[in-house]
Amino acid sequence: MSDEDKVGSFANLLKNFFAKLPKEGELVKGTVISVDNGEVRLDIEGVVTGIVRGAELFAESKEFSNVKVGDEAEATILEKENENGEMELSFRVAGHHLVWSRMKKNAEDGITLEGKVLAANKGGLMMQLDALVGFMPVSQLSPENYPRVQGGDKNRILEHLRGLIGKKMQVKVLDALEKDEKLIISEKAVWEDEQKAVLDSFNVGDVVEGEVSALTSFGAFIKFGEGLEGLVHISEIVWQRIDHPRDVLKVGQKVDAQIIDINKSKIYLSVKRLVDDPWKSVKEKYKVGETLNGEIHKIENFGLMVKLDEDIHGLAHISELGARDASELRERFKIGQKSDFEVISIEPSEHRLGLKLLGDKKSKEVVKEEKTEEKKEEVKKEEKEVEKKEKVVPPTDGIPAEGGKKKKKVKKSTSAKAMADEKATEDKEASEAKSPEAESTEAEGKSGESEGGEEKK
């Protein structure tokens, strides 16, 4: 090939290259030809030299932090030609896109990565993951790092989370949305995978030996096996009612428990099921009508929980204590107080034993007073009914009594004797009452008598 042909071929190559040269903001691929003094130069298809320098190196990303001569790399065009005739490039935009693409792939494949806690807020942790900062909600922490705070106090939760700053964790990417700059990560997902592998060796019904790792208002957590942890709900700790697991357990205590459910990676345990239910034989211990001496174990608004023995607690309802309300109940009774009770009901299947307080002068007086008040109310009610039926004494035959005056309404008495006297009075008044015709006849008779007298004279 002649020199003229070579020049023509090179000219055509340049013409074709610049004709299809990417625009500013697009990605190009090149080979690293030098790394020196914070500058990386790339050979772009043997025609143009590109340079990446300063902040555009994006050194936070492992893609570009250790580039060396001969490596292939992608970069974003900032300027087609700078003051030195080189193409100005950036690893920053290209690296940003590559990292997000990789995070999306990690989420799809369920890859475990290492992250570092940078900061904390009440909702969770901010973590460095590769060249990105992701967010881990509190709910996505493993049981080891989860803040078990009594009552869910947000300030105490934040204090716990701040204690994790600087810690490195094994995590998984749950969601990676480059457009929204949203990266959600989880430590719990890694823990669950580890749980599943170990859980294959356990079945519902198995008995395990473990150690109480934490106590909450709703139950106790027990560690067992190889890094496994299960929850014993407060209702599965003992057969009796308790206010809080700490009433019978303490952190670090060794206990045996039975697996009662396995739901994915969650394990539910029971301690009480390893002990015979004392309520099965309660009718052999106690009888209805029997009098017992019990200790007040708990005071509720609806009554007293009474400890009869270590296993059986009975309930004396407020209606059986002669108390009007909960405040009076707490005034009259104290926890630890012993009193005599009568057994009034036994329901083994419901774990219930009803009690009635005996020998309490105050309760008897209250009951007597309540019955007296009830009797008074009944008498008043009867009197009102009688008053409604017999309010007025009607005049005889609808004629006004003497003097032409209407009789006044008379309130009837509920006394039998009084009612009889009132009836006799009414009859007498009726017999003495005269009709107009009778009065006229009597007047005429008197007139005749008078006239006859005169004639006799």
Summarised one tens digit per residue, pLDDT across range 267-305 is 999 999 998 888 888 998 999 999 999 999 888 889 999
Residue 61: the pLDDT is: 56
Indicate if 78 and 119 belong to the same structural domain: no
Is the residue at 331 inside a domain? yes
Q: How far is CA 79 from CA 46, 50, 75, 212, 230, in A?
A: 18, 10, 12, 64, 60
Is the residue at 419 inside a domain? yes
pTM of the model: 0.45
Q: Which domain holds residue 163?
A: 111-192
Residue 355: the pLDDT is: 94
Indicate if 244 and 176 belong to the same structural domain: no
Nearest to 227 by CA among 253, 247, 202, 261: 202
Residue 173: the pLDDT is: 95
Residue 402: the pLDDT is: 44
Sign of CA dihedral 63, 65, 69, 75: positive
The domain boundary, picked from 257, 274, 291, lies at 274
CA torsion angle for 183, 188, 193, 199 (degrees, to 10)?
-170
Number of structural domains found in the chain? 5
Residue 28: the pLDDT is: 86
Residue 357: the pLDDT is: 93
Indicate if 245 and 285 belong to the same structural domain: no
Rounded to whole angstroms, the Cα distance separating 162 from 155 reads 11
Is the residue at 10 inside a domain? no
Nearest to 278 by CA among 233, 240, 232: 240
Residue 453: the pLDDT is: 43
Low-confidence ranges of the chain (pLDDT < 50): 361-364, 366-367, 392-415, 433-457
Exposure on the CB side of residue 451, measured as CA atoms within 13 A: 5
Is the residue at 368 inside a domain? no
Is the residue at 441 inside a domain? no
Q: What is the CATH number of the domain that holds 67?
A: 2.40.50.140
Is the residue at 170 inside a domain? yes
Is the residue at 182 inside a domain? yes
Q: Which residue has the tokens 């893609």?
A: 63
Indicate if 289 and 325 belong to the same structural domain: yes
Residue 165: the pLDDT is: 93
Residue 455: the pLDDT is: 38
Is the residue at 448 inside a domain? no
